């Protein structure tokens, strides 16, 4: 009984054929007679030979693996993007590897240089960088959610400005004028576009913005908590904020937590409107009104775009897909027009 893994050379020797003939059998190629193919296959089966996937990928320069870069794994939004990517890739014979950067530029750059680029055929990224790490022809890339707006990148994003404009307009039409806004970082089209949507809507309605009620932080629950605590402190001092507009799902989650802890009645004492779903919007009382984005579909479109790039061997397709949002009206916004 042999304990050592049999090699292609061993199979060739036992079958009395060239190594190239064994390779053609393993890869389903033509130019092998039925008798020879049967003899080689019998030895492969007898010794349970399994090709070394890493070695094959080096020779073929193809791994059939797609790298998905996300900021962190706890956000359901990121999980939904990954799900959409995976569904498309599986139907096309690709697997995916998911890498988390903790939203740190240094971690993302290290991953791309040392791990992701050698391992995959292409990359789908929710990036926290300026994009330079992806230039230079390393691997084809599609940016999703966080667009850079540069000509070098194919992107799948949403109408951030339009979505937040619609949310702010909804609050104003419900009679709200003193609106606090909790923003994420402004380096990308997500944070910047949404803040622009809020500002443009307030300006169109002729409502001055109290800059002390605009809070810019990060995208996480802790940032929503900190900003909401400050809003409540200012309200105690007479700021009179009647509604809070949150720029992403985790910020909104942190906001909900603080309001509940402070026994502030959402939709009565203060109104709340979020951007994207979180695991609380449907389970609080009342349910939270929010801007919905086609998250799963964004992952699908990004995967389709990337696989098109890989098939065409083009580094840039010139595609920038902007997907629409919807306002989901639930019970967290009080209508101040009603007496």
Structural domain boundaries in the chain? 8-51, 60-158+295-323, 160-293
- Burial (Cβ within 10 Å: 0-12, 13-18, ≥19) of residue 230: middle
- Cβ pair 94, 123 in contact under 8 A: no
- Cβ pair 111, 69 in contact under 8 A: yes
CATH 3.30.420.40: does it fit domain 160-293?
A: no
Cα 33 to Cα 15: distance, rounded to the nearest angstrom: 13
Residue with tokens 């002729």, as numbered in its chain: 206
Quick check: helix, strand or coil at residue 205?
Answer: coil
Q: What is the CATH number of domain 8-51?
A: 1.10.260.40
Check if 8-51 and 60-158+295-323 are the same fold.
Answer: no
Question: Percent of the chain at pLDDT above 70?
Answer: 94
Q: What is the CATH number of domain 60-158+295-323?
A: 3.40.50.2300
- Cβ pair 251, 224 in contact under 8 A: yes
Q: What is the DSSP string of 262-284?
A: TT--BTTTBEEEEES--TTTTTS
pLDDT grade for 2, boundaries at 50, 70 and 90: very low
- Burial (Cβ within 10 Å: 0-12, 13-18, ≥19) of residue 255: buried
- Is pLDDT of 59 > 60? no
Cα 276 to Cα 295: distance, rounded to the nearest angstrom: 9
pLDDT grade for 10, boundaries at 50, 70 and 90: confident
Mean pLDDT of 30-46: 85
Helix, strand, coil distribution of the chain in percent, nearest 5: 45, 15, 40
Quick check: helix, strand or coil at residue 180?
Answer: strand
- Is pLDDT of 45 > 60? yes
pLDDT grade for 34, boundaries at 50, 70 and 90: confident
- Is pLDDT of 142 > 80? yes
- Is pLDDT of 107 > 80? yes
- Is pLDDT of 4 > 70? no
Mean pLDDT of 153-161: 93
Q: What is the DSSP string of 41-54?
A: HHHHHHTT----HH
- Is pLDDT of 109 > 80? yes
Give the residue ranges of DSSP H helices in 32-104. Answer: 34-46, 53-60, 76-91
Mean pLDDT of 76-94: 93
Cα 180 to Cα 184: distance, rounded to the nearest angstrom: 14
pLDDT at residue number 54:
46
Mean pLDDT of 120-148: 87
Whether a cis peptide bond, with omega within 30° of 0, leads into 286 is yes
Output 127 or 26, whichever has higher pLDDT: 127
């Amino acid at each position: 009984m042999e304990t050592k893994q049999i090699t292609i050379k061993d199979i060739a020797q036992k079958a009395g054929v060239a190594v190239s003939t064994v390779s053609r059998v393993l890869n389903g190629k033509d130019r092998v007679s039925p008798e020879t193919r049967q003899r080689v296959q019998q030895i492969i089966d007898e010794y349970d030979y399994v090709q070394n996937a890493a070695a094959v990928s080096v020779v073929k320069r193809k791994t059939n693996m797609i790298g998905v870069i996300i900021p962190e794994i706890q956000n359901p939004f990121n999980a939904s993007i990954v799900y959409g990517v995976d569904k498309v890739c599986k139907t096309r014979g690709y697997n995916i590897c998911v890498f988390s950067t903790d939203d740190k530029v240094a971690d993302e750059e290290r991953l791309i240089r040392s791990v992701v680029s050698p391992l995959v055929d292409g990359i789908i990224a929710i990036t926290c960088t300026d994009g330079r790490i992806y230039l230079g022809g390393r691997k084809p890339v599609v940016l999703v959610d966080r667009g850079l707006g540069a000509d070098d990148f194919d992107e799948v994003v949403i109408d951030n400005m339009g979505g937040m404009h619609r949310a702010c307009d909804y609050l104003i039409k419900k009679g709200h004028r003193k609106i606090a806004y909790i923003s994420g970082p402004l380096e990308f089209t997500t944070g910047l576009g949404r803040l622009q949507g809020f500002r443009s809507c307030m300006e169109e309605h002729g409502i001055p913005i109290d800059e002390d009620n605009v809070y810019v932080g990060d995208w996480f629950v802790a940032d929503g908590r900190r900003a909401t605590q400050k809003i409540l402190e200012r309200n105690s001092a007479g700021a009179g904020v009647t509604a809070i507009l949150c720029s992403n799902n985790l910020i909104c989650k942190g906001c909900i937590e603080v309001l509940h802890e402070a026994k502030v009645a959402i939709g009565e004492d203060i109104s709340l409107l979020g951007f994207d779903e979180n695991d609380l919007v449907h389970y609080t009382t009342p349910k939270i009104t929010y801007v919905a984005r086609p998250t799963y579909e964004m992952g699908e479109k990004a995967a389709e775009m990337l696989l098109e790039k890989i098939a065409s061997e083009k580094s840039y397709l010139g595609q920038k897909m902007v997907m629409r949002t919807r306002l989901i009206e639930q019970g967290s916004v009080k209508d101040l027009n009603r007496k």
